[in-house]
Chain A
Amino acid sequence: EAQVTQNPRYLITVTGKKLTVTCSQNMNHEYMSWYRQDPGLGLRQIYYSMNVEVTDKGDVPEGYKVSRKEKRNFPLILESPSPNQTSLYFCASSLSASGDYNEQFFGPGTRLTVL
């Protein structure tokens, strides 16, 4: 089944404890991205990757890191999480960024709470 998977689905952690949220897709998509969703602020893009070894900042990249060493995986890293990073996180992928085949497929979400 074609899908985007995220792990963990739920995470409660404490301020300053490094964490990684994994994202994987099995559709051979070139483009992958991370979003956070907050009440009143909607969905905002954190980082995106046009292809392996190519990453770019989105609208809210502060406090996050990403890497794209292989096509299928795009982990989101919080080196020193803070309470303002408590949010619902979505990973997504698409065949490409440009042209007509750029609809995004979203994962199920990771609910992160930073105490």
Chain B
Amino acid sequence: DAKTTQPNSMESNEEEPVHLPCNHSTISGTDYIHWYRQLPSQGPEYVIHGLTSNVNNRMASLAIAEDRKSSTLILHRATLRDAAVYYCSRRGNMLTFGGGTRLMVKP
């Protein structure tokens, strides 16, 4: 059974980089890796996605292992507004979410 696993929670200091890991060891070769985040009382919000190569956008960077069995979401400078639950997911015809990592940011 394909699973996507993430640590339950992580903590960071404000203005420091954060590396959020995800394990997707059984991902299909054609599935994209997507990351979403969810703020309290809101729907999930798209952050970034990739297939094989590392990706950067205005919100974050995504580092994908060469064997695609894991990936890491990188927030370069965490702010208090980045405190949320971050979901790693596999995107084929369906979108299958991991359990999410609750990121706490300390001032």
Interface set of A (CB-CB < 8 Å, partner B): 4, 33, 35, 42-45, 48, 50, 56, 58-59, 90, 92, 97-98, 100, 102-109
Contacts and interface: CB of A to CB of B under 8 A. Distances in A.
For the complex of A and B, list the 5 residue pairs with the smallest distance between their C-beta atoms, beginning with the closest: A106-B43, A43-B97, A103-B46, A106-B44, A90-B43
A90 B44 contact: yes
Q: Interface range on chain B: under 10, 10 to 19, 20 to 34, or 35 or more?
A: 20 to 34
Contact of B43 (A59, A103, A109): A109
Given A42-B100, A43-B87, A107 B43 contact: yes
The binding surface of chain A is classed by DSSP as strand
B24 interface: no
A50 B93 contact: yes
B104 to A, nearest CB: 18
27 contacts: A4-B43, A33-B95, A42-B87, A42-B97, A42-B98, A45-B95, A45-B96, A48-B94, A56-B93, A90-B43, A92-B43, A92-B95, A97-B93, A100-B51, A102-B32, A102-B49, A102-B91, A103-B34, A103-B49, A104-B34, A104-B36, A104-B46, A105-B46, A106-B36, A106-B44, A108-B43, A109-B43
B21 interface: no
Interface string B81-97: 00000010001111111
A48 B46 CA distance: 18
A83 B6 CA distance: 30
Nearest to B50: A100
Q: Which of B45, B91, B93, B95 has the most CB of A within 10 A?
A: B95
A29 B29 CA distance: 25
Given A33-B94, A92-B95, A108-B43, 11 more contacts: A33-B95, A35-B95, A44-B97, A45-B95, A45-B96, A59-B96, A90-B43, A100-B51, A103-B34, A104-B44, A104-B46
